[in-house]
Amino acid sequence: MIWGVDVASMLLGGVAAGMVLFIVSVGLSVTMGLMGFVNLAHGGFAMLGGYAIVQAMKHWGLGFVPALVFGFVVTALVSVVLERLLYSRLYRANELDQVLLTIGLVFVMIASVTLLLGPENQPIRLPAALQGQIDLGIVRYRTYSVVLIAAGLLIAAALWLVFERTQIGAQIRAAVDNRRMAESLGINIDRLFTITFAAGSGLAALGGGLGAEFLGLDPQYPLKYLVYFLIVVAVGGLGRVTGVFWAALLIGVLDFVLKKYLPQGGTAFIYAFTILLLLWRPQGLFGGAAR
């Protein structure tokens, strides 16, 4: 009985963490799959969004949900500006240039935030309704973790609808599968990319805000978690929303389980797992054939 409760609460914790990983990483996966662009600054957008959300709640008294919306919109706008000014110049460039640009951007983001708001962690005050515990029948669990899971499922469902049922979703899927063919069909890839980039960065902001409670929110966030986001994207397969979803859940649960049973070697296990998986399937679990 106790063992079952333990497992359930661990799984819930892992799934909640996985949901946050999913929300942050899905934008990265789609933009990488769409343009083949290595964006190491993606975590920076999550951080910027998280900061915007926290500041909105602290200084302007916005509620939690309005602050989330605010964070989404502001980050999406900032990302569009950066995309038009900087990213778009390097779409046909080689990988090294993209790595350099995005590392540079991350440094600028981190330094700006440190200069403006200091290097300390930004605590987020969750609304009272989301704090505490909730009774799920078998087990009492943290309300917020349940909320995260619900939010993740909601976003996943919304994305699924967009990708499977709207024209723009179909265009994105086509372009991820075969960019050249999509272009020859008249799809404006550049415009598609701007939209996807903005949405992806906005989602990252949501993830940054939602996850601030347990991932923390400090200027080192983008670099601290960079490898994790990249792992989720690579394991899931570039450009595949389902892929990112399952990969994020897998990594989230693995991380939680390992922290409990193998507190020393957990992270090493995840790295080793990623290496072995990518060697066996370089395109990730759900990715299409290599470009």
Partner 1 sequence: MISPPPSGPLDRPAAHALAGRHWLRAWEPIPWILALGLFVLFPKHLAFGTELLVTILFALSLDLVLGYAGIVTLGHAAFFGAGAYTVGILAKRGLWTEPITGLILAAAVAAAVGLGSGVVLLRTRGLTLLMLTLCTMALLEEAANLAHDYTGGFDGLDSLPIAPLLGRFEFNPLYPTTQYLYVLAVLFVCFLFVRTLVYSPFGQSLTGIRENILRMRAVGAPVRQRLVLCYTLSAAIAGVAGGIWAQANAYVNLGTLALDRAATVLIILVLGGFGRLYGAFIGAVAYMALSHFLSKVYPTGWQLGLGLLLVVIALFANNGILGLVETCSRALRRRGAGAPAPGASAGQ
Size of the site for partner 1 (CB under 8 A): 43
Whole-angstrom distance, CA of residue 233 vs CA of residue 224 = 16
DSSP assigned state of 120: S
Q: Which residue in 7, 77, 111, 181 binds partner 1 (CB under 8 A)?
A: 111
Whole-angstrom distance, CA of residue 274 vs CA of residue 268 = 10
Q: Interface residues for partner 1 in 129-188 (CB under 8 A)?
A: none
DSSP assigned state of 125: -
Shorter beta-carbon distance to partner 1: residue 105 or 189: 105
User: Tokens representing 62?
Assistant: 């916005």
DSSP assigned state of 141: E
Q: Which residue in 24, 110, 149, 247 binds partner 1 (CB under 8 A)?
A: 110
Site string for partner 1, 258-277 (x = CB under 8 A): ------xx-xx--xx-xx--
* Sign of the alpha-carbon torsion through 276, 282, 284, 289: negative
Stretch that binds partner 1, among 59-67, 92-100, 136-144, 251-259 (CB under 8 A): 92-100
- What residue ranges in 46-205 does DSSP mark as E strands? 133-135, 140-142
Give least dist CB 26 to partner 1, A.
17
Q: Which residue in 223, 242, 259, 288 binds partner 1 (CB under 8 A)?
A: 223
Site string for partner 1, 47-86 (x = CB under 8 A): ---------------------------------------x
How far CA 153 is from CA of 16, 57, 86, 96, 273, in Å, comes to 10, 25, 33, 36, 26
Q: Which residue in 89, 125, 140, 180 binds partner 1 (CB under 8 A)?
A: 89
Q: Which residues contact 211 (CB under 8 A, 6 or more apart)?
A: 17, 20, 23, 24, 46, 50, 148
Q: Which residues bind partner 1 (CB under 8 A)?
A: 32, 36, 38, 86, 89-90, 95-101, 103-112, 114-115, 223, 227, 230-231, 234, 238, 264-265, 267-268, 271-272, 274-275, 278-279, 282-283
